[in-house]
Amino acid sequence: MTRITRDQFVRRYQGDELNIEQAQQGEGGRRLQQAGMGAEQLHQADLNGDGKIQGTRELQELFRKVDAYDSNGSSRSFDTETRTGRTTQAGKVVSALDIMFAANNPQVEGFHINRPVGPGQANRSSDVRAVQSRLRELGFDIGVDGDWGNQTKNALEVYEAMLRGRSDSSDMRGVLRPGSDLHRVMASPDAPKWSRMPNRGPGFVNGDRDGYSYGSEKLAAVVQEAGQSYHDNYLRTHPGASVMDLNDASVRNGGDNRDHSTHESGLDLDIRLPRTDGGSGTQVGYRNYDRDAAYAMVEALASNPEVERVLLTDSTLRRMARNNNEPWAGKVQDGGRTHRDHIHVDIFPPESALSPS
């Protein structure tokens, strides 16, 4: 026997709308009439009289109309199947409503979900599985089992935070609604991907050893472009200088991590400071700190139009950039005590239809 509570019913259709006249003209409307519910009950659930059913109050009223077809004695739930597995009249009404709501909220080509997925949402197994499959295609290492859980929630929050340019992925609701801007971006063949940072290339090497080598593919592109610029404009004339030594980006699937309050959405990167012996790993003010190489690295990074800001606790380097009237000097900011041993880079989010908030 399957039972649906009032809260489950509301979550099932939350975020969607049902145009009453339009919905009655399709297959769902035909099935609804066969189940015994007509236009009158739908219009009674339309509390504000706008011809649509949407929002918590109207969905709660629609629940009461469906519950009238149930006989389990509870006003807070109805049964969609009998103990022997036969569909109840209330169950037939819900099946018709599912078709009607889906028809009124068209799918995005290439990546289909019928109901919202996320905390407190319907989380139908088929929809969750579709989201999990798409997140895997976009680079996240998660299972595809149709069960909503923390792993899927984290990946969806991280992906949305990456698109919105937010460092803290927990600020995101982690809800994916059919036809939403987030859904459309994820469905696009050009959807931004989550990827591993490159191991090495002209002007840089990935020296990360504790699993912080992941982020947006845009961050990986910035690394390669800045490394090439540093190589062409500095290393060719200073062959003994340090290459850019990448340290921390984000962890495998992004999100909360033990070492940083940011670095959650694949838009942040740390680079170890260069030493005068051609290695890396020192602090500003130490005798082996190679300020000239650091200046060239900062220039290669801050000159990239996709870089939003660079943090470095080196007031002398920042003053040099200002005195030289460098066009990128305004991007370089004081990182405080926590940025004495590395250069921190923030990039702009990938281009998408999502607003920052």
pLDDT digits (tens, 9 = 90+) for 199-210: 999 999 999 988
pLDDT of res. 12: 79
Chain center to CA of 271: 25
Same domain, 198 and 183: no
Q: Which of 18-22, 87-91, 104-108 is least confident?
A: 104-108
Q: Which of 93-107, 164-178, 264-278 is least confident?
A: 93-107
Q: Tell whether 113 is covered by a domain.
A: no
In angstroms, what CA-CA distances link 25 with 21, 39, 99, 112, 319? 7, 11, 12, 23, 70
Same domain, 170 and 231: no
Q: Tell whether 330 is covered by a domain.
A: yes
Q: Tell whether 117 is covered by a domain.
A: no
Same domain, 235 and 334: yes
- CATH code assigned at 239: 3.30.1380.10
Whether the pLDDT of residue 130 is over 90: the answer is yes
Chain center to CA of 198: 22
Same domain, 163 and 269: no
Domain residue limits at 317? 194-347
Q: Tell whether 21 is covered by a domain.
A: yes
pLDDT of res. 1: 46
Same domain, 206 and 342: yes
Q: Using CA atoms, how far apart are residues 296 and 328, in angstroms rounded to an integer?
A: 12
Same domain, 138 and 84: no
Same domain, 56 and 91: yes
pLDDT band at 257 (very low <50, low <70, confident <90, very high): confident
Q: Tell whether 112 is covered by a domain.
A: no
Same domain, 181 and 200: no
Model's pTM, two decimal places?
0.72
Same domain, 36 and 138: no
Q: Which residues, 6+ apart, have CB-to-CB distance to 234 below 8 Å?
A: 241, 293, 296, 297, 300
Same domain, 176 and 214: no
Q: Tell whether 199 is covered by a domain.
A: yes
Higher-confidence residue of 183 and 82: namely 183
